[in-house]
Amino acid sequence: MPKDSTRAIHEGEEEVLGISSFITPIYQTAVFPYPLNGERGFRGRPLKYSREDNPTNIVLERRLASLECGEDALVFSSGMAAISTCFFNFLSRGSKLVLSREVYGSTIPLAKSFEKFGVKVELRGPDTEDIVEAVKSGCNVVFVESMSNPILRVVDLDLLASTCRDCRALLIVDNTFATPLNLKPLTRGADVVVHSLTKYIAGHNDVIGGAVVSTGKVIEDLWSWRTRLGCILDPHAAFLVLRGLKTLSARLKVSQENAKAIAEFLEEHSKVSKVYYPGLPSHPTHSVAKRLLRGYGSVLSFELKGDGEVARRFLGELKVVKASPSLGGTETLASHPASSSHKDLPKEERERLGISDSLIRLSVGLEDVNDIVEDIDRALRACSP
């Protein structure tokens, strides 16, 4: 089988479209001619309407399924649309959903909105062992992230997937932070993988999208929900994701190298009290990361010596690095979780998760690493008392 970097460029085009083209076209159409000869299209049904399927999307779906070692995939208008569709499909009255308390900030209120439909929602963790105990107590669906935000805790998928299998609980893994190049959760026992395509996979901060990868049966069920909800990815957005996906391997190699160098620099800096990066031996889940991951990603977090005001001054002093909440793009971005992604959590809960008022999250991009380091060093010295 070709390597990931090769499949990210070529997988799916000729098989789905039956044409030879280096670039997948944008099928900017709402409808397709109905096949009067009874010809069956992709997934055993003819192309009729772009709310159901679109050839540009199908190429992307085949490519993502291949990279994640799944049978099939679907793409959505956002990562939250992908997660929402999974919840609609897998949850019903009487179901119990267990989530890691460290999942993406919008995922928790989404899950809790299902409580009015008779779904029980339980937050556990952040340690994998605590989530495992919740699974053993009984549940139907488990939702975790392969690497948490912003502490970058790596979930022990071997342990969790084994427990879910024994307890007959369905395991959904958000693999956005790891990417399929660093981790393939389906090969570790997960049932479903979701992605925010907005981040690493598209990689240029110019498109919003999501994806789900799983078995053919699961994807068939989710396809029905996606069609009803109307949350399919736009074909032009799919084209941009396909373009970004072709350079994922090259981008990730550079950004991970940059992130490692910056993490090591920050760990020795006099103005920094703690650094969170799975590639550092000091990280609490380094041993799990070393066992599961092919690479450690390009997101890291660090605590400044000071309070939240020092953190805000630090963000204001940055020049090369931009203050913004996203990640996985070509630009290096810095954010303040306590006032952005986790602002709605009580301070006690934030501190329980390790999110202090002085914590900064850094998504490292493709700029020259020395320029990034110099910018961070200057900002640290300018903002600190």
| Residues designated catalytic | 51, 104, 174, 199
Are 334 and 383 within 8 A, CB to CB?
Answer: no
Q: What are phi and psi of 88, to 5 degrees?
A: -60, -35
Omega before 337 within 30 of 0, i.e. cis: no
Q: Measured between alpha carbons, how far is residue 230 from residues 30, 85, 239 in Å? A: 13, 10, 19
